[in-house]
Amino acid sequence: MKDLQSTPRNHFDAKLTALARDNFRCMVTGRVDGSSLMNGLITCLPGEITTMTQCAHIFPDSLGDLQTGGSGNKEHQVATAWTLL
């Protein structure tokens, strides 16, 4: 239970949590987040490239695997997930 973390309540908190998890770097390019560097949350090596990161949501492939006209349990679950998103 001690590993449970509270859910971020807004976009800013979600981005900060994700940046901390990813060592204040873009998870795709590995570049240092510029605003984290300016706010002293991380240091970078000389010559290391910085960038302005943006929060992104990654969805599993299964959410795109919906059969047109399908009405089975899987289609219902995927449609429900998309409705909630």
Confirm whether 33 is domain-assigned: yes
Q: What is the pLDDT of residue 67?
A: 62
In a domain, 60, yes or no: no
Residue 70 belongs to some domain of the structure: no
For residue 15, is it within any domain? yes
Within a domain: 62: no
CA separation for the pair 17, 8 (Å, rounded) = 8
Residue 38, CA distances (Å) to 17, 34, 42, 67 in order: 17, 6, 8, 47
Predicted local confidence at residue 11, as pLDDT? 83
The whole-number pLDDT of residue 41 equals 92
Cβ atoms 36, 21 nearer than 8 A: no
Q: Tell me the whole-structure pTM to 2 decimals.
A: 0.60
Q: Residue 73 to residues 3, 33, 61, 80, 84: CA-CA distances in angstroms?
A: 33, 42, 17, 11, 17
pLDDT mean by block of 10 residues, the chain; 85 residues: 73 87 89 93 91 79 65 73 73
- Domains contained in the chain, number: 1
pLDDT on residue 69: 63
